[in-house]
Amino acid sequence: MLLVVDANVLISALINKGITSKVFKHNASFKKFEFIAPEFLLSETNMNKLVSLTRLTKEELDKTFSSIIEQIEFISFSKFSDKFSEAIKINLKDSPYFALALKFNCPIFSGDKGLKKQGAVKVFSPRELLDILGIE
């Protein structure tokens, strides 16, 4: 299943050892999901700031980050820019993620409950993906 990864799940997986990090950990083994994200997601992830928000050391954080981004294919804006105006109508703040999901006709992986309030694109929470993987 192809899924667009939004910034909140990436950041959550890096600062918490909770459900979101389990999704990436188990997906690394089972390869059930294919993840894509706008390439600017890398620039949204401020590793220096994240070190102050987590109990992980800088080295542990870097290792976790590497294991997660290895699972994500980063897509340049030019490949989905044609869907941007449609995505803005759905959700201005997260429009790049919606544009990518519209372009590839796939759901979004997000822990943001507000994203589920629209009906144009399916949004899966971390818990829903663990359920699909069959993980408690």
- Mean of pLDDT over the chain: 94
For residues 37-47, average pLDDT: 86
Structure tokens at 69: 């981004």
Contact between residue 1 and residue 32 where contact means Cβ atoms under 8 Å apart: yes
Name the nearest CA neighbour of 3 among 79, 61, 75, 62.
75
Q: Among residues of the chain, what percentage have pLDDT more than 90?
A: 80
For position 50, what pLDDT does the model report?
87
For position 95, what pLDDT does the model report?
96
- In the predicted model, is pLDDT for residue 44 greater than 80? no
Domain coordinates in residue numbering, the chain = 2-133
Angle between helices 58-69 and 7-15 (to 10 degrees): 140
For position 46, what pLDDT does the model report?
79
Q: Which CATH class is domain 2-133?
A: alpha beta
CA count, 13 A, side-chain hemisphere, 31: 1
Rounded to two decimals, the pTM is 0.94
CA–CA gap between residue 88 and residue 15 (Å, rounded): 29
For position 51, what pLDDT does the model report?
84
CA–CA gap between residue 63 and residue 79 (Å, rounded): 29
Instruction: List, for residues 109-130, the tens digit of each pLDDT value.
Output: 999 999 999 999 999 999 999 9
Report residue 54's pLDDT band, with 50, 70 and 90 as the boundaries.
confident
